[in-house]
Amino acid sequence: MENNYNDKQEPQQALHYEEPEYQKGKKQGKHPQTAGILIAAALIALVCGYLGAWAANENAGKVVIQKVSGESGSTGSEGEALAATDAAAAISPTVVSITTEAIQYNQFWYGAQVSSGAGSGVIISEDGYILTCAHVVSGADSILVTDYDGNEYQAQLVGIYENGDIAVIKIEADGLHAAVLGDSDQVQLAETVYAVGNPGGTLGGTITDGIISATERTITVSLDSSQNYGFASMSNTISLDVLQTSTAVSPGNSGGGLFNSRGELIGIVNAKSSGESQEGIGFAIPINTAQEIAESLINNGYYTGETRTESENDAVMNITVSEVGSQVAQLSGAEAGLYVQEVQEGGASDGLLEVNDCIISVKDKMIKTTKQLSNVLAKCQPGETVSVSVERGGRMITVDITLAQNHNLAEGSGDTE
C-alpha cells in the first residue's frame, strides 16, 4: 500500500553555539552542591525504576479488556455517534474470521472424515483473547483465525459455556485491535447498530447496518454437537436472552460483533431467524452477559451460570413463580411466560398480585423467565418501590410493589422471588 508521505527530509542547518564570556575559563568542580544534586537524581531514578518493575509485575498475566466507563462513554468523543465510515474504520479491525475442522468417525466404514465450519469472533484484548459463540468452535480439532489484515493464526480453546453459547479462544499475537465493550443494559429501541462478521464463511469483514428491533427477547436454540466416536449427533436445546436486530446476518456471522453507532461492542451475533418468510431478524447475546462468561472462562477455565446467591440483603416480591416455556405452552395451550404460583400472606405483593397472574414487566423491563426477574431484582434494594405489570384475565394491570428484605425463602415447587 502506497502512502502519500514525502520520505525526503530537508537538510537541517547546523546550529553554532558560542560559549558566553562569563563561562570561558571556568572549570567544573567549583560548586560542591553539584555532587549532591547528582546523587539525589540517581536515587530518584532508582526508586522510579523499582516502582516501574513492581507495577509491571503486578499487571503481568492480567487480561486487559477495554470497557466503557459510565452510561454514555464511547469510542467517539463525548458519547456522540460516529459517521458510518468512521464507525466502520474503528470496528472492522476488531472482528476476525474463524474456520474450524473436526475429525469425525461416525461412519467407520468410510474411515475418518473431516468436517469444516466457519464463523466469526471479536478480539477483546490486545494479546489475543477472542470472544465467539460456543457453537462455532464446539468439537473443533483445529481452529484457524484470520484477522482484518489477512494474517492467519492457529487458535487454542480457552473455555466454553454451551448453555450460554459463549466461548473464548486465544491466538499468540500482540498489539491487536481490541474492541471497546459497551453497556448492553443501556441499549435503546431503534438505535442504529452495525454487525460485522464472516457471512457464508467466505466474506470476512462484511459490515451491515440496521437498528435494535427489541431489547429483550428469549429464544430457544438447538445446538448440535457431533461426537468424535459414535454414530449420531447430540442436540442440546438452550434458552437465551438476546437483543433483536434488523442488521443482515447470515450463517458465518455467528460469533461476530454487534456494535452501536459509537463503535462500542454491545452484543455477540448468535443466530438468524430460520423462518422461510422471515428476513431482517437477527439476534445477539448482550455483551454484559458475554463479558461475565468470558472473564470467568479466562480466569477460571469454566463458567457455572448464575453467580448470584440468595442472602438476607436480597430484595424480593414475596411470591413463588412458575416458568412456562414455549414447548410446554404449545402442548398445554397456555401462553409462554412467568406466572405467579403463590403470594405470601402479609408479604410485599399481598393484595396486589394474585395467583395465575402472568408477569409482563418489572421496572419497565420485559419479563418472560425466572432469570430475567432475578436479574431485575438483583439491582434493587429492599424498601424500593417498583412498578409491576401483569396480565390478569385478559386485562393489563399495573401495581406498585414495595420490595421486602429476604430473611428466609418460602418453600414451594416453584422459584421464590
Catalytic residue (choose from 74, 120, 165, 389): 165
The pLDDT of residue 327 is above 90: no
Q: Is 254 a catalytic residue?
A: yes
**Which has more pLDDT, 50 or 322?**
322
- Banded pLDDT at 273 (limits 50, 70, 90): low
* Mean pLDDT, rounded, of the chain: 77
Q: What share of the chain is helix, strand, coil (3-state, %, to 5)?
A: 20, 35, 45
- Banded pLDDT at 92 (limits 50, 70, 90): very high
pLDDT tens digits, one per residue of 388-413: 999 999 899 999 999 998 764 433 33
**Which has more pLDDT, 220 or 177?**
177
The pLDDT of residue 237 is above 80: no
- The predicted pLDDT at position 301 comes to 86
Catalytic residue (choose from 120, 125, 135, 357): 135
- The predicted pLDDT at position 253 comes to 94
- The predicted pLDDT at position 370 comes to 79
Which residue type is seen at 248?
A
pLDDT tens digits, one per residue of 44-79: 555 555 454 444 444 445 566 777 644 433 455 446
Catalytic residue (choose from 74, 254, 261, 296): 254
pLDDT tens digits, one per residue of 148-205: 999 999 999 999 998 899 999 999 999 999 999 999 999 999 999 999 999 989 999 9
pLDDT tens digits, one per residue of 337-368: 888 989 999 999 999 999 999 999 999 888 88
Identify the structural domains of the chain with CATH numbers, from first to last: 63-307 (2.40.10.120), 315-416 (2.30.42.10)
Question: Which of 63-77, 253-267, 309-323 has the least mean pLDDT?
Answer: 63-77
- The predicted pLDDT at position 411 comes to 37
